[in-house]
Amino acid sequence: MVWLQRFKYFAAGIFFCGGLVAGVLLFTFFQAGALYDYQDTLDGAMLPEVDAIVCLAGGKGRIAAAGDFWYRYYDAEENKNIEKTPILYISGMGPRSNWVSFQTQVRAGVLNAMKPQDVVLETESENTEANAAFLVKNARLRGWKRIVLMTSPYHMRRAKFIFSRVLKQSGLSMQVDTLSVFQEPFNADEWRGSLHGIQVTMFEYLKWLYYTSVWKPTKVAL
């Protein structure tokens, strides 16, 4: 019967697609831990002379950690151990963000030392490539030559890759140091121990595969 034959083809197609999806998920589950193989250029104890601390907003605790790191520079300048405190640049906070919403994400002790002119709130970018593109524009305007990039451990490898490619495409010479923000369960030993860790890490790994195999940066408007 024709309908039975069609049903067999349909069932075979569903079975094939299901197997393909299962294979991709299984592959991703076992390979995604490679994201955590990335080694930061800074360990948190070092305070190199930089123009800006660039924090990619979006992950829980990133802005607070960047504020704490900024405060260490502020304290070092107060004690005359460094020449100047870098700008705290928050990238991709969202179009409705402002100084008031920023204050809710930073410790009170840090805010007491901080003035609005110490912070740049970039509210237009909506993804990592746009984060990098807007940074290029700001860095050109402000003459920045060296920054510290801060984001979550699962995101850092792709973020550094994208920033490097966008900087190269723009022709802007700038040193990018990296410092990952500690978050549970996002490390090599713990991410498989929770559903949230698995979801975030596997999705990020699929993004990593796309950006390293297919993606080409959009030309940055100067």
CATH code, domain with 174: 3.40.50.620
Q: Is 70 exposed, middle or buried (CB count within 10 Å of its CB: 0-12, 13-18, 19+)?
A: buried
Contact yes or no for 106/119 (Cβ under 8 A): no
Q: Is 158 exposed, middle or buried (CB count within 10 Å of its CB: 0-12, 13-18, 19+)?
A: buried
Asked whether residue 6 is domain-assigned, the answer is: no
Q: Sheet harboring 175-180: ordered strands across?
A: 119-122, 87-91, 52-56, 146-151, 175-180
Structure tokens at 168: 């190269």
Asked whether residue 115 is domain-assigned, the answer is: yes
Interacting residues of 172 by C-beta distance below 8 A, sequence separation 6+ = 136, 139, 140
Q: 206 or 60: which carries more pLDDT confidence?
A: 206
pTM of the entire structure? 0.89
Region 182-208 average pLDDT: 93
Asked whether residue 169 is domain-assigned, the answer is: yes
Asked whether residue 207 is domain-assigned, the answer is: no
Region 66-90 average pLDDT: 96
Least confident of 27-36, 55-64, 191-200: 27-36
pLDDT at 7: 46
Contact yes or no for 112/118 (Cβ under 8 A): no
What pairs with residue 90 in β-bridges?
55, 121
- CA dist., res. 62 & res. 60, Å (int): 6
Q: What is the pLDDT of residues 40-65, one digit of tens each?
A: 999 988 899 999 999 999 888 999 99
Structure tokens at 200: 């975030």
Region 29-46 average pLDDT: 91
Number of domains in the chain: 1
Asked whether residue 102 is domain-assigned, the answer is: yes
- What is the phi/psi pair of residue 87, to 5°? -70, 140
Structural domain for 90, as ranges: 46-184
Asked whether residue 7 is domain-assigned, the answer is: no
3 alpha carbon, distance to own chain's centre: 52
Asked whether residue 134 is domain-assigned, the answer is: yes
In three-state secondary structure terms, 52 is strand
Interacting residues of 133 by C-beta distance below 8 A, sequence separation 6+ = 125, 166, 170, 218, 220
Region 129-152 average pLDDT: 97
Asked whether residue 147 is domain-assigned, the answer is: yes
Task: Report the DSSP pairing between strands 119-122 and 146-151.
Answer: unpaired
What pairs with residue 89 in β-bridges?
54, 120
